[in-house]
Amino acid sequence: GGVFLIAYFIMSLIMGLPLFLMELSLGQYRATGPITVWNCCPLLKGIGIAMLITSSLVSLYYNVIIAWAFYYLGSSFQSPLPWSCNAPGNAYLCQVSGPRVGSVVGSGPGNASGIVSASEVFWNEQVLGVMHSSGLGDPGAVQWPLALCLLAAWIIVFFCTLKGIHSLGKMVYIMATFPYLVILTLVIWGATLGGSLDGVRFYLSLDWSRLQSAQVWSDAASQIFYSLDIGFGGLVSLASYNKFNSNGHGGCGNTLVLAIGTCCTSFFAGFATFSVLGHMAWRNQVPVGSVTDSGPALMFVAYPEALSLLPISPLWSVLFFLALTTLGVDTLFGRIQTITRAILDEFPALDNQRKKAVLLGALCTSFYLLGLPLVIQGGIFWFTLIDKYSTGFGLITVSLFMCLGITFCYGHHGHDPPVSTLVQAHAGLLQGMLGLLYPLPAAGEHQAPAQGWRSRGEELPSLHLSLPSEMGSSCHGFGAGLPGPGAPPRPVCGCWR
């Protein structure tokens, strides 16, 4: 609710904006990727390696979301929509009269209310096939339609990345603006739905006692990292294409516009989400908080159900999932571009069109094969584990050591004049970040596994996540940040010799 928004905006001011500025400045001054940028201090190359590991983990499961969106996009060309009450196969789910039109009481795995909607049945049975898997130890068969959608997603990412960074600017004009039109439409339409105000009140409600929970601050910090792309290396890589003197040695103007715009977009999109959830709660006569779980169920259960209520629903469904697909491809394009740039910086011999195409093909093929376990009938269990535990601690650890490296090592005593300028300009800010960055979010991340081992089964009763599996995933998440403290034995700092 509103308490999370307070934590979100506080963390964006004291942590998001400074780190965003720092990564942009570092990439712009050094004009190299996230690994080569630490050539001055080879020991800190581990920071760049950790960034690539984190980006790879996110890319692995992020494209699965795009595959789901592709599946829904293809299904949207049907009338009536296959997840609506008007579809012939959903007649048994939908009552003709009463307040719960579109739902039936049951033990649905996607919500805590015991009411299963037609969109939820479509998501669990037809898309995921999760009803045929009992847990991590029962993987089930491959969902071949999803496997083909995943293959199509990686082919699109391959050709987009092959065009190089110069095509990104042209693509963003469409990929970044089109979702805003869809969100605005959903906000306006959501305001006309019954019960939408209840959802908005829930969104803005304040429970001040929640501010005492480290988990709230940890979740807010993680959301900031993902929203602003901090700690993934993408900011360093993309900023490296700027001119050295672009926007006044550090890009404060761009930083404020981009960071504030991103945070405001997240806030504005929340109204579209919770107006829909309020309507679903009103229709099913359940509390807003128990309509559906967060995560994929929110995007692929709540929104499709709302879209099915719109006039000319197939058209709006096509537009929504097309916007979701373009936004996802745009994000993943930046991830793969970061990984490619880092490899080419370390191995310049590969930096020609033919060898780059082979490298990209190998990367995309590897990610596709590694992503196949996530599109089997039990793949949602693995997706949940990776999503919850794989990157949170790693991102915070990477950012902490990046602050330490820039403040105390990189550009020390003026051995690297460009970054010395950065350190001198933002010395107080960077040193302050060392005190603000780690305690609250890191405390939450350390508590999260312990709390999660006790409570995840309550939050996701259908995803029978065992204690060993969650402990293993937490260790996997810790491992993502381990390269940050240092690379294999090499000269401690080349600029100090």
Predicted local distance difference test score (pLDDT) of residue 73: 94
Say what the pLDDT of residue 419 is: 55
Nearest alpha carbon to residue 300 among 117, 483, 443, 107: 117
User: By the 8 A CB rule, do 328 and 92 touch?
Assistant: no
As given in the structure block, the two tokens for residue 258 are: 């981009």
pTM of the predicted protein model: 0.80
Quick one: tokens of 482?
Answer: 């381990």
Average pLDDT, the chain: 75
- Whether the pLDDT of residue 430 is over 70: the answer is no
Q: Which residues contact 142 (CB under 8 A, 6 or more apart)?
A: 372, 375, 376, 377
> Is 11's pLDDT higher than 50?
yes
Read off the pLDDT of each residue in 295-304 and give the average, rounded to a whole number.
80
Question: 115: left (phi > 0), else alpha (psi -120 to 50), else beta?
Answer: beta
Instruction: Check: CB of residue 336 under 8 Å from CB of residue 157.
Output: yes
Alpha carbon distance 260, 280 (integer Å): 31
* Structure letter (DSSP) for residue 490: -
Q: Is the pLDDT assigned to residue 367 strictly greater than 90?
A: yes
Identity at 357, one-letter amino acid code: A
Collapse the DSSP code of 167 into the 3-class scheme (helix H, G, I; strand E, B; otherwise coil) and give the result. helix
Among 8-12, 162-166, 310-314, which is the least confidently predicted range?
A: 162-166
Q: Residue 337 gets which letter from DSSP?
A: H
Predicted pLDDT of residue 252: 61
Contact 480, 55 (CB under 8 A): no
Could you read off the pLDDT of 115-126 as tens digits, one per residue? 567 888 899 888
Residue 327 annotated as lining a ligand binding site: yes
Lowest-pLDDT range of 151-160, 179-188, 280-289, 412-421: 412-421
CB 64 within 8 A of CB 295: no
Which 3 state secondary structure label does DSSP give 138? strand
- Would the annotation count 330 as a binding residue? yes
pLDDT at residue 193, rounded to an integer: 83
Provide the pLDDT confidence category of residue 429 given band limits of 50, 70 and 90: low
Q: What is the pLDDT of residue 365?
A: 95
Q: Is residue 420 scored above 60 in pLDDT?
A: no
pLDDT over threshold 70, residue 373: yes
Highest mean pLDDT among 27-36, 75-84, 232-241, 479-488: 75-84
Tell whether the model's pLDDT for residue 52 goes beyond 80: yes
- Phi, psi values for residue 64, rounded to 5°: -65, -35
Q: How far apart are CA 26 and CA 29, in angstroms?
A: 5
Rounded to a whole number of angstroms, the distance between the first and last alpha carbons of the chain is: 53
Would the pLDDT of 455 be above 60?
Answer: no
Q: What is the pLDDT of residues 76-121, one digit of tens each?
A: 998 889 988 888 877 777 654 344 444 443 334 444 444 567 888 8
Q: What is the mean pLDDT of residues 173-199?
A: 82
Which residue type occupies 365? Answer: T
Q: What is the pLDDT of residue 254?
A: 67
Non-local CB neighbours of 144 within 8 Å, separated by 6+ positions? none
pLDDT confidence of residue 33: 84
- DSSP reduced 3-state for 92: helix
Position 27 scores a pLDDT of 83
